[in-house]
Amino acid sequence: MARRLSMTAERILLLGGTGFLGRRVLTGLLVRKPEAEVRVLVHSSRLSAGYEGLAVAHDDLQAVVAFEPTHVVNLAAGWSSQGASPGAEVRANLELPVRILAALLDTPFAHGGTWLQGGSYFQLSSQSTNYIESKRTMTGILRTWSDMAGFSQSTLILPHLTGPGEDARRFLPSLISTLAQGEVFEMTEGLQQVPLLHVEDAAEAVVRCVAAPSAPQLIGVTPVWYGDLRTLALDIAAAMGAQDLLRVGARPTPADTVVEVVDFPPPIEGWSPKIPYAEIIQQARETS
C-alpha cells in the first residue's frame, strides 16, 4: 500500500519564487506560515543569489522528491528560451513542472498533496499564444493526473499585475516613466481589455489559497480595474497632468469591433482585493 503524505508539518515547494509575484509570495509564506518548511526552485546558476537555506536547484529532482512537499505552488511564467518555435516553446514551458509532477506521483504527494497553479486571465479567452497554450495545457494535465491519483489541484486565475518592481518594459511602468520624464508616449493599441490587479493583492490571494483547507479547481481574483488600454492610459496621463504627452494611435475603431470580456471564475471566498484602482492612479500622480 502506498505511503500517505504526513500533513503534520507543511512543506511548500515554490516554483517561480524568484519572479515579480513569486518574491512577494515567498515573503508572505515565511511571515504567515512560519511553522511551514518552504523551498524555492531556483535555476542551478543562481543558487547563491540570496536564497540560502531555501533554494533547490531546478534540475535536482532527487532533492525535490526528498523534500516530500505537501504543497506545490507553480507561479513560473515560463522556462523557455526566446526564439524557440511555437511548439518547442510550449513544450519547454511545460517540461519542468511536468517532470516535477511526474516525479512526485511516485511519492506520498500523490496521496494527499495539493498543487496550486498560477493561471492567466488570457487562458479563459479565445486568444491563443505559446504562453496561453502552456497555461491551458498545464491546467488540463493537472486535472487529468489528479483524477487518477489522490492529490488535489486548483488553478488561480490572475489579472494583469502591476506595482513596485514591475518590469519597466511592460506597459504601465513604461507609460508612467515616459510621462514623468516629460516625453511623449505613443500608444497604438487601445482595444485590449485589461483586468488590473496590484501584485500585493495577488500575493495575498496565493497565500490564502495555500492556507485554505480545500479550494475549487478554478479560482479567480477579481480585478480592481477592468477596461481597455486607451482609457487606462488617458486616466494615468490625466492624473500626472501630462495629457498632452500621450499620443494615441489615430487608427479609427471599426463600428463592429467586439472587445472580448473574460468571465472570471468564482473568487476566493470571503476576500476581495484591498488596493483600489484609485490608489494605483494616486501612485502615478505621485510619480509626476
pLDDT in tens, 249-259: 766 556 566 66
Q: Cell 493599441 identifies what position? A: 189
Pairing of strands 114-120, 160-162: unpaired
Q: φ and ψ at 176, to 5 degrees? A: -65, -45
Cβ-based neighbour number of residue 227 at 10 Å: 16
Q: Report the run of H or E that residue 89 belongs to, with start and end.
A: helix 86-104
Query: Which runs of E-coded beta strand occur in 70-224?
Result: 71-74, 114-120, 152-158, 160-162, 185-187, 193-198, 218-220
Q: φ and ψ at 46, to 5 degrees? A: -125, 25
The CA distance from 144 to 146, in Å, is: 6
CATH architecture of 163-195+225-263+272-287: Alpha-Beta Complex (3.90)
Query: pLDDT (tens digit, 0 to 9) for every residue of the chain, 288 residues total?
Result: 455 555 568 999 999 988 899 999 999 999 999 999 999 998 877 666 677 789 898 889 999 999 999 999 999 876 555 555 667 778 888 999 999 999 999 999 999 999 999 999 989 988 888 888 999 999 999 999 999 998 999 999 999 998 888 888 888 889 999 999 999 999 876 667 889 999 999 999 999 999 988 888 999 999 998 888 888 899 999 999 998 999 887 665 565 666 677 889 999 988 889 988 888 888 888 887
Cβ-based neighbour number of residue 13 at 10 Å: 25
At position 131, the amino acid (one-letter code) is: Y
Taking only the tens place, the pLDDT of each residue in 27-50 is: 999 999 999 999 999 887 766 667
Cβ-based neighbour number of residue 84 at 10 Å: 14
- The neighbouring-strand residues paired with 14 are 40, 73
The CA-based dihedral angle spanning residues 190, 194, 199, 203, taken in that order and rounded to the nearest 10 degrees: -160
Q: Which segments of the chain belong to CATH 3.40.50.720? A: 11-158
Count of helices and strands (H, E) across the chain: 8, 12
- Which CATH class for the 11-158 domain? alpha beta
**What confidence score (pLDDT) does residue 277 get?**
86
Checking phi first, is residue 249 left (phi over 0); if not, alpha (psi -120 to 50) or beta?
Answer: beta
CA 99, 100, 101, 106 dihedral sign is positive
Q: Which segments of the chain belong to CATH 3.90.25.10? A: 163-195+225-263+272-287
**What confidence score (pLDDT) does residue 144 get?**
95
**What confidence score (pLDDT) does residue 100 get?**
95
